[in-house]
């Protein structure tokens, strides 16, 4: 068969198999593709890197199982950085599944970094009605939150020492697939001038850029690619990198087939023209 004709008529099952291999192979290979860290991710990283040991960070996680593929790696990268910096942090969520999903990540990483619940971090659990909740929260954290996710009073935990109002928060990190970050901006970050960074899903990135460009937020981790960039900054090589590599390999394969198909079509037309046929 003419090679030019073959490149234009590759059996779709061959393409599916190659695509499957390109997606799955990175999960079994310990490699790191060259990756340029975007200015948005660099700014997000710097916002945490500038924190001092003991600074209190609000980790607002508002994702559920449906966006775990992107928000999960983002959360893991952020928690790793916070634990390395020895920052105190509290988990707060307006999404029902987030507290448990995030707790699992924190407990796993806590064993590695010797981070203790109640001393270095605390889970405030799931809350409802973000707007009305945050109105009271900014004035009296202990009075509004009251207990952790196990209904134990906040006053018994060393991690809460010196934390009375939202003004005591040194950084607000929101990891979300929704517009809840706007509520945090409206009631916490904006009025109280609390530095804020956002880790949205990839589909939200163009929208969130408006807030980054206007300096209403200090940084952004853009979806899964951003999580891969962040891991590169941390010097770790976990599933975040493998997820990013999987997406990159798939994109490379698709681009390759598009280029080869079009090149083969153009060359075949030129060949037919020289032979006197119709292109």
pLDDT at residue 4, as a whole number: 64
Token pair belonging to 265: 């079509």
- Say whether both 106 and 12 belong to one domain: no
- Say whether both 65 and 7 belong to one domain: no
| 279 part of a folded domain | no
Rounded Cα gap, residues 26 and 241, in angstroms: 9
- Say whether both 209 and 91 belong to one domain: yes
User: What's the mean pLDDT when you consider all of the chain?
Assistant: 91
pLDDT at residue 32, as a whole number: 67
CATH of the domain at 148: 3.40.50
- Say whether both 140 and 54 belong to one domain: yes
- Say whether both 115 and 137 belong to one domain: yes
Rounded Cα gap, residues 75 and 132, in angstroms: 26
- Say whether both 19 and 101 belong to one domain: no
- Say whether both 173 and 149 belong to one domain: yes
- Say whether both 22 and 102 belong to one domain: no
Provide the edge-to-edge strand list for the sheet that holds 121-126.
Answer: 121-126, 88-93, 56-61, 171-176, 196-200, 219-220
Domain count, the chain: 2
SS3 state of residue 51: coil
Helix axes 39-49, 223-234, angle to 10 degrees: 50
> What b/e sequence results for 255-273 when a residue is b if at least 16 CB atoms lie within 10 Å of its CB, and e otherwise?
eeeeeeeeebeeebeeeee
pLDDT at residue 100, as a whole number: 96
| 31 part of a folded domain | no
Q: Give mean pLDDT, residues 131-136.
A: 96
Picking from 106, 43, 92, the residue whose alpha carbon sits closest to that of residue 63 is: 92
- Per-residue pLDDT reduced to its tens digit, 100-111: 999 999 999 999
pTM of the model: 0.82
- Say whether both 101 and 10 belong to one domain: no
- Say whether both 144 and 21 belong to one domain: no
Domain range for residue 44? 36-236
pLDDT at residue 110, as a whole number: 96
Using pLDDT thresholds of 50, 70 and 90, give the confidence band for residue 27. confident
SS3 state of residue 124: strand
- Say whether both 259 and 194 belong to one domain: no
| 111 part of a folded domain | yes
- Per-residue pLDDT reduced to its tens digit, 36-64: 899 999 999 999 999 999 999 999 999 99
Using pLDDT thresholds of 50, 70 and 90, give the confidence band for residue 186. very high
| 225 part of a folded domain | yes
Rounded Cα gap, residues 267 and 63, in angstroms: 49
pLDDT at residue 279, as a whole number: 46
Least confident range of 6-10, 18-22, 77-81, 116-120: 6-10
Whether the predicted pLDDT of 19 surpasses 70: yes
- Say whether both 183 and 261 belong to one domain: no
């Amino acid at each position: 068969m003419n090679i030019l004709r073959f490149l234009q008529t590759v059996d779709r099952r061959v393409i599916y198999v190659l695509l499957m291999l390109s997606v799955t192979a990175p999960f079994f290979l310990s490699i790191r593709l060259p990756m340029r860290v975007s200015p948005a991710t660099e700014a997000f990283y710097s916002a945490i890197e500038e924190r001092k040991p003991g600074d209190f960070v609000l980790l607002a996680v508002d994702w559920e199982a449906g966006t775990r593929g992107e928000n999960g790696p983002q959360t893991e990268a952020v928690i790793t950085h916070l634990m390395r910096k020895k920052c105190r942090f509290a988990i707060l969520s307006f999404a029902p599944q987030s507290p448990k999903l995030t707790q699992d990540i924190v407990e796993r990483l806590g064993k590695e970094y010797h981070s203790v619940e109640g001393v270095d971090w605390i889970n405030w659990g799931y809350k409802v009605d973000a707007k009305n909740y945050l109105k009271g929260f900014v004035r009296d954290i202990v009075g509004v939150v009251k207990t952790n996710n196990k209904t134990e009073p906040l006053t018994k935990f060393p991690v809460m020492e010196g934390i009375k109002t939202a003004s005591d928060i040194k950084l607000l990190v929101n990891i979300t697939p929704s517009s809840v970050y706007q509520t945090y901006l409206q009631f916490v970050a904006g009025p109280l001038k609390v530095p804020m960074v956002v880790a949205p899903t990839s589909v939200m990135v163009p929208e969130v850029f408006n807030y980054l460009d206007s300096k209403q937020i200090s940084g952004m981790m853009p979806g899964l690619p951003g999580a891969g960039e962040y891991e590169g900054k941390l010097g770790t090589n976990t599933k975040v990198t493998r997820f990013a590599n999987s997406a990159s390999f798939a994109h490379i394969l698709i681009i390759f087939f598009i280029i080869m198909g079009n090149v083969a079509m153009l060359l075949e037309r030129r060949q037919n023209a020289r032979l006197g046929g119709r292109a």
